[in-house]
Amino acid sequence: MEGFFMRARFALVAMLALASCGQSPKAESFQTAQTKCDRFPGVGKDPIPLEFQVSLTGGRRPQVNIVTNLPEGTEVNATLKSPGFPPNYIAQDEGSVACGKLLFGPFSKQGNELPSGLFELSVTAPLVIVQPKPVQKYLGTDYNVFRSELITKRKSPSELGGSTIEWKTTLNFRQPS
């Protein structure tokens, strides 16, 4: 009986350790994620390169995996849609950076694989002003803490809005042969 409790305690500790940096950003608050994985050193004088590595898995039920150096709790959105107006297909997902990672999807059409054709995938971090308050200080004004071609800049100070981070690609699902 003692061996059973020892194994159960070990299993519980292992599950908690695995969950501490798992992909459950939607369920965790910023403060919880921050204490579990404080990876962002803070704001320096010079902008740092933005790391934003995107990989796709899952075939015709695509899943978007992102590794980034955005601060913990930064909110990001993903949109997958067919071209044209109005699109025949559109799906969105949202998440927050947890331990330098984001996971969106899998995207499907009513639980089934996506049909053949072209799809536009965009991943966007919205305006700094709509990010959670604790995250904003690490992003700076208009993401000026970072430098990257993915950061869209305002054309002039009088232009409404601000900068966003945008990554886009086109997916081509071919007809099965």
Q: What pLDDT sits at residue 74? A: 96
> What is the percentage of the chain residues whose pLDDT exceeds 90?
53
Helix/strand/coil percentages in the chain, nearest 5: 20, 35, 45
Given a cut of 50, whether residue 114 has pLDDT beyond it is yes
- Structure tokens that stand for 175 in this block: 């007809």
Coil, strand or helix at 80: strand
Given a cut of 80, whether residue 135 has pLDDT beyond it is yes
Residue 69 neighbours by CB distance under 10 Å: 17
Tell me how far apart the alpha carbons of residues 75 and 70 are, in angstroms, rounded to a whole number: 10
Q: What pLDDT sits at residue 155? A: 66
DSSP state, residue 143: G
Q: Do residues 119 and 81 make contact, with C-beta atoms less than 8 angstroms apart?
A: yes
Instruction: Give the gyration radius of the chain's Cα atoms.
Output: 19
* Chain segment 12-62, per-residue pLDDT in tens: 333 333 333 443 343 343 334 334 565 555 556 678 899 999 999 999 999
Task: Name the more confident of 85 and 123.
Answer: 123
Q: Do residues 21 and 98 make contact, with C-beta atoms less than 8 angstroms apart?
A: yes
**How confident is residue 136, by pLDDT bands cut at 50, 70 and 90?**
very high
Task: Name the more confident of 164 and 6.
Answer: 164
Tell me how far apart the alpha carbons of residues 14 and 85 are, in angstroms, rounded to a whole number: 49
Domains recognised in the chain with CATH numbers: 2-173 (2.60.40.10)
Sign of CA dihedral 44, 45, 46, 50: positive
Tell me how far apart the alpha carbons of residues 3 and 52 are, in angstroms, rounded to a whole number: 46
The predicted model scores a pTM of 0.72
Query: Which residues partner with 103 through β-bridges?
Result: 65
Coil, strand or helix at 130: helix
> What is the percentage of the chain residues whose pLDDT exceeds 70?
69
Q: Do residues 78 and 64 make contact, with C-beta atoms less than 8 angstroms apart?
A: yes
